[in-house]
Amino acid sequence: MQIIDAQIHLWGKGLPSNMAHRQVTSFTAEEAIGMMDEAGVDGAVIHPPSWDKDSTQMALDAVQRYPGRFAIMDSPPLDRPNSRALIEGLRDRPGMLGIRYTVLAGHEREMLDKGELEWLWPVAERAGVPVAFLATDSLKTFGDIAARHPGLKITIDHLGGRGGNTTLKDAAAMTHMPELLALAKYPNVAVKATGAPGYSSEPYPFPKMHTYLQQIYETFGPERIFWGTDITKMPCSWTDCILMFTEGMPWLNKADLPLIMGEAICKWWGWRRAS
């Protein structure tokens, strides 16, 4: 069974603006590979973070140095004259799978709310560029987008929650679940089950989170739920994040584990990993 992490960050300078992440000035591909090898993680999708302006180039370098181990969900600017061309040609760049943004607040959220991203959905749909969003307050909006653009593959980050942008735990962090589960009726919407331990007030195996993971699993199915960590803000090891799924969930059909742990995301985002 291949194990693919749906989200990690690499950076070479600057402290993370999100305080939930390790407050260190770098987390390199070499560090990640060492931890991945120790835990048995075969590959990981890099999401270049905003606090290091050179993080996309760092990700591209990692793809080249470690064939088959890394791919990229980039965040090219959406408000520049060449934005359309950047999206249309994104998958021509080695390792690039799609695009990912946070729309909890800030400029991208404002663009979404004002309808200034309406050009993006048909462009990405035609170009076969998957999109991923951290979008807790805009889940209904993405339902509308999914309905209007059935060929656009949309992924909702971090179980639909706020990830490291909230200090709320357990049920208090999961009040958005009805809106998230309502998106399952759109076959072009999937969920990243990334960072689940970070929402838990309990230690491994983080039992209070199992209720929400089971709801997502039973509603979206194993082909539309993707395991991952966002490892630099996890309260536990990469190994514990894996075992939470592979050993800690008796309700999860073991036959579905290969999909959830890696096969489904490679298919959804079109990652053709080197053997």
- pLDDT given for residue 175 in this prediction: 98
Decide if 275 is inside a domain. no
- pLDDT given for residue 72 in this prediction: 98
Structure tokens at 224: 């539309």
- pLDDT given for residue 274 in this prediction: 72
Q: Where are the alpha helices (DSSP H) in the chain?
A: 29-39, 55-65, 83-88, 106-113, 120-127, 139-148, 177-182, 210-220, 238-246, 257-258, 264-269
- b or e along 251-265 (b: 16 or more beta carbons within 10 Å of the residue's beta carbon)? ebeeebbebbbbbbb
Decide if 118 is inside a domain. yes
> For 214-237, what is each residue's pLDDT tens digit?
999 999 999 999 999 999 999 999
> For 77-128, what is each residue's pLDDT tens digit?
999 999 999 999 999 999 999 999 999 999 999 999 999 999 999 999 999 9
Decide if 75 is inside a domain. yes
Decide if 147 is inside a domain. yes
Decide if 8 is inside a domain. yes
Which domain range does residue 207 map to?
Answer: 4-269
Whole-angstrom distance, CA of residue 219 vs CA of residue 222: 9
- pLDDT given for residue 241 in this prediction: 98
Decide if 163 is inside a domain. yes
> For 135-194, what is each residue's pLDDT tens digit?
999 999 999 999 999 999 999 999 999 999 999 999 999 999 999 999 999 999 999 999
86: domain CATH number is 3.20.20.140
Give how many domains the chain has, as a whole number. Answer: 1
pTM: predicted TM-score of the whole model, two decimal places: 0.97
